[in-house]
Amino acid sequence: MTRRVGIEKLRVYPTTLSLDMDALCAARDHDPADVHDNLMVDRRAVNPPWEDAVTMAVNAAAPMLTDEDRAAIQLVIVGSETSVDQEKPISSWVHRYLGIQPHCRNFEIKHACYSGTAGVQMATSWLASGQAPRGAKALVINSDQSLIALGEPYEFVCGAGAAAVLLSSSPEPDFLELELGKSGVYANEVTDVFRPTPRVETGNSETSLYSYLEALAGAYARYVDVVGEVDFDAFFQRNVYHVPFGGMSFRAHKALLQEYTAITSRADVRAHWARKVRPSLHYTRQIGGTYGSSTFLALLGLVETAEDLVSGERVGIFAYGSGSCAEFYSARIGAKAKAVAEAAGLQTLCDARRPISVAEYEAIERERDEATAARDVVPRRGCAAHWYEELYAGKRRLVLQRVDGYYRHYEWS
């Protein structure tokens, strides 16, 4: 029997706090229609001071893993541009706190928002190569959050979150089957968005926009070179794009339609996008920018909200990371995709987040910024309305207890 490689489980951690964009727009004297209609963001995720890239990664994966999964995982890859250490990988903490068996290769990778996809492709190649022992599984996690951006033009597209992807080889992947060999990569050195220090995120948004679109054109052209000429409209039943903000998916889809189809009028492009892409933005609108997690967040939203989605449909997926590297690849919806999405319970997690005021958000961002790379830190737990007691106590979520002489100490809530 032919064994295939794909995503068995997928779960996203949307943090425990949220900020309404209408409130932020009012505080910044910004037109809310621009944020809702053009950027396509309604709320954003915010982390309390006792969470970081490590805790989000663990909190994304822990609830979905069984004892059998922990015993079978032999590869852990964590992608992040918000790493907490310049030498020690996030994956080492993930391996420990998830209780994964010790004979497990683990490491951290970085390539801006491409890192999550890079990890999935590396894990897929390992599983398909014959080098992975039979029954072995791979866990890939992307965990990121925005740096402080108070009053910046890009403040409205910031966010936080982590996506955990469990991959395996099986006769029929439950959530998504990756089409082996059907992929196009495009790389080009550019300094569009970057983080020169752990506390600084900077760049040029216009350069980033054009770099994204150039990479999309290059990656898809390479996909066609590899796979052969295809009818873009008929070949892909759905499309998912990297979304630094939801509105970018429309620009990306429009670019491919105008290049490879006869669908060129704005009305027709908008209708095509609404049918094939818009369902993927369901959670992006509620969480904001999730960096390398964005395509996996979009896949979860697509599967959960597209009512006419059926098993076997092909999805065209585009991932982009500043710097830059991009990939266009294809996958097929698994037979149990809806059940996997339901088990992830993301809407319940989003609804359970505590709404915070702009003043509370600003205070959190300043505290996190001051604590970043500090030698000694004890995150405050006496925040307004007893957030820790309300959202963490007794819920078995990993939290940062303290940083003592740069040593990070974590504990379960």
Q: Identify the domain boundary among 302, 337, 372.
A: 337
Q: Identify the domain boundary among 289, 321, 337.
A: 337
Q: Identify the domain boundary among 295, 312, 337.
A: 337
Same domain flag for 184 and 163: no
Burial code (b: 16+ CB inside 10 Å, e: under 16) for 314-330 equals bbbbbbbbbbbbbbbbb
pTM of the model: 0.96
Q: Which run of H or of E encompasses 138?
A: strand 137-145
Same domain flag for 165 and 268: no
Same domain flag for 380 and 333: no
Same domain flag for 23 and 110: yes
Same domain flag for 298 and 377: no
Higher pLDDT pick, 209 / 3: 209
Same domain flag for 251 and 195: yes
Same domain flag for 96 and 241: no
DSSP code for 319: E
Same domain flag for 286 and 381: no
Residue 3 reports pLDDT greater than 90: no
Could you tell me the residue range of the domain that residue 187 belongs to?
178-337
pLDDT of residue 403: 97
Kindly report the CATH number assigned to the domain that includes residue 236: 3.40.47.10
Question: How many domains, in total, are found in the chain?
Answer: 2
Q: How does the average pLDDT of the chain come out, rounded?
A: 96
Catalytically active residues are 81, 113, 242
Q: Which run of H or of E encompasses 65?
A: none
Q: 3-state DSSP: the chain helix, strand, coil percent, rounded to 5?
A: 40, 25, 30
Same domain flag for 157 and 298: no
pLDDT of residue 381: 76
Same domain flag for 209 and 292: yes
pLDDT tens for 259-270 read 999 999 999 999
Rounded distance, CA 177 to CA 173, Å?
5
Same domain flag for 164 and 228: no
Same domain flag for 192 and 297: yes
pLDDT tens for 147-189 read 999 999 999 999 999 999 999 999 899 999 999 999 999 999 9
Residue 385 reports pLDDT greater than 60: no
